[in-house]
Amino acid sequence: MTDKNWKEVAKAADIQPDEPVKVSVGSEEIALYNVDGDIFATHNICTHAYASMADGFQEGVEIECPLHEGRFNIKTGKALCAPVTEGLQTYEVKVDGGAVFVKI
C-alpha cells in the first residue's frame, strides 16, 4: 500500500463472523465486521448515545447498539430503527496479504 491514507488495522483472520472488533487509528475508533467473509468498517461510536458498536450484537449485515437496541446496516451505515436516526460513518476496506487496511 503506497497511499498514506490506507492504514493497516488488523489481520483478516482475527475478525470472525458476528464478532465485531474495535481498532483505533490515531484518535479514530473504528469497528470492523466480517459479513460472509468480507470485511467492513464503521465508526465505532453509536450516533444516538456513547456506546461501542464493537460491543453490540451483529447479525448478518446488521449491528445492534448495546445500549438502546438501535440497529444499523454494516455495509452502508444506514440507521434502521428507532431510537437511532443518524447513520454511522463507513470506511473503505481492503484486504491485502491477510492484512486489513482502512482508508482514513
27-80 tens-digit pLDDT: 999 999 999 999 999 999 999 999 999 999 999 999 999 999 999 999 999 999
Q: Supply the mean pLDDT for the chain.
A: 96
**pLDDT over 70 at 85, yes or no:** yes
Q: How far is CA 26 from the centre of its chain?
A: 16
Q: Determine the Cα–Cα distance for residues 71 and 27; give it in Å rounded to an integer.
A: 24
76 domain-assigned: yes
Output the pLDDT for position 26: 86
Cell 483472520 -> residue: 13
Q: Please give the model's pTM, rounded to 2 decimal places.
A: 0.95
Output the pLDDT for position 2: 58
Output the pLDDT for position 3: 82
User: Which residue segment(s) compose the domain that 61 sits in?
Assistant: 6-103
What CATH number is attached to the domain comprising 44?
A: 2.102.10.10
**pLDDT over 70 at 1, yes or no:** no
51 domain-assigned: yes
1 domain-assigned: no
- Region 4-29: what's the mean pLDDT? 96
Q: Determine the Cα–Cα distance for residues 44 and 23; give it in Å rounded to an integer.
A: 8
- Region 94-98: what's the mean pLDDT? 97
- Region 2-14: what's the mean pLDDT? 92
Number of domains observed in the structure of the chain: 1
Q: Determine the Cα–Cα distance for residues 33 and 10; give it in Å rounded to an integer.
A: 11
